[in-house]
Chains A and B, each alone.
Chain A
Amino acid sequence: MSSLDPRVNRLDFKKATDGEVHTNSHLITWEVFHQDKRGKQAVHVGIVHASTPEMALILAKEQYARRGKTTNLWVAKTSDVYTFSTHDEDIFETTPEKTFRDPAFYKVRDRIEKFQNRNKVTI
């Protein structure tokens, strides 16, 4: 079999398949958080495979910080992240109804205008 890509023709496929990869020998995963500005929150962006935290950072840099602005990256072992069971999703079920927790629920525009008129300020 020959390829138009000379690199592929140079590959020794026979040699490459000699090794066997066992499921439990895969590298573990790390959750990656990206911070674009100092002081701003680090935002979760995805995962990388790596064997150490240093390697996770070094690989995360090219996966998740290859464009735009970055000041720092965080990584944390996926296994260190605790989550609710998917069966417990119902604890969030009624939350969207609780509009009184939304600032837009309160009609305060009249009072703000009254305050502005009294103090002659513009907001």
Chain B
Amino acid sequence: MNNLAIKDLLLKMADDALIIGHRNSEWTGIGPILEEDLAFSSMAQDKIGHAQALYSILHETFGEADADTLAFKREEKDFKCCQFVEQPIGEYDFSIVRHFLFDHAELIRYDMLTLSSFQQLAQLARKVKGEIKYHVMHADIFVKKLSLGTEESKARMQSSLNYAWHMALGIFEKGEFEGELASENIFAGEEELKKRWLEKITPILEAAGLKVPLTEDSKIVYGGRKGFHSEYLKPLLDEMCEVVRSDEATAEW
């Protein structure tokens, strides 16, 4: 099997999960209502769990550093997350729209991976299927409710969707190993994932009365998968790693 191709796939998935998990956890304690605060925080925690599981495969199977080192001690340029997950949480409309767009892609990606010829990933995909299904149920309900709510909530949802759209499409930035991953039945590829994602989310957004933005290829925000990031990743990493860096010699994790 093509180790470089698998490592690339694992790392970008793990980095996406870690960074969106960290971002969404920024709502902890300041969410809109107590119940939603807890639900959103729990899902953020799930994401960090997914990142840990993926980093652990990199560590145990491919001899990379351990999960904590990968998470907390890499440079910005070594991260392979898409720029979409790095964006600040904004207001709740943007966070819900991002959660919706990202988690639908996650659900389909993990569903595709249940058939992967790389067994560890297929097993992980089967294990976390239920968790991501819940994340999507949650996202669907909030998108529907807020989009069909008041004039203000509808306008906010539409403008967040417009703002998020070309960044969300950056999730599907192709890696250098698309061909190898597909031919070895490891993962069917970003293009296939994007196709299924559009088929899945379009009717949901339309039923919620939202207009699906027109895609202009030149506006899609790429770069994250190659280590080029937005201005927001560095401050996020500084904040996320502040504690571990402050006591590097003795901290135990």
Contact = CB atoms under 8 A, between A and B. Distances in A.
A49 B34 CA distance: 9
Contacts of B4: none
Given A61-B134, A62-B42, A66-B42, A48 B35 contact: yes
Interface of B is mostly: helix
Interface string A29-68: 0000000000000000000111110110011011100100
Nearest to A12: B91
B35 A63 contact: yes
Q: Which of A11, A61, A62 has the most CB of B within 10 A?
A: A62
A59 B42 contact: no
A11 B35 contact: no
Contacts of A54: 141
A16 B26 CA distance: 16
Contact of A27 (B33, B39, B239): B33
Contact of A62 (B26, B38, B145): B38
Interface of A is mostly: helix
Q: Which of B42, B137, B141, B145 has the most CB of A within 10 A?
A: B141
Contacts of B137: 58
B33 A51 contact: no
Contacts of A50: 35
Q: How many A residues touch the partner, as a band?
A: 10 to 19
A60 B227 CA distance: 39
A11 B39 contact: no
A58 B30 CA distance: 19
A59 B145 contact: no
A22 interface: no
B138 interface: yes
A50 B36 CA distance: 9
17 contacts: A6-B239, A11-B30, A49-B34, A49-B35, A52-B141, A52-B145, A55-B141, A55-B145, A58-B134, A58-B141, A59-B35, A59-B38, A61-B39, A62-B38, A62-B39, A63-B38, A63-B39
Interface of A: 6-8, 11, 27, 48-52, 54-55, 58-59, 61-63, 66
Interface of B: 26, 29-30, 33-36, 38-39, 42, 134, 137-138, 141-142, 145, 239
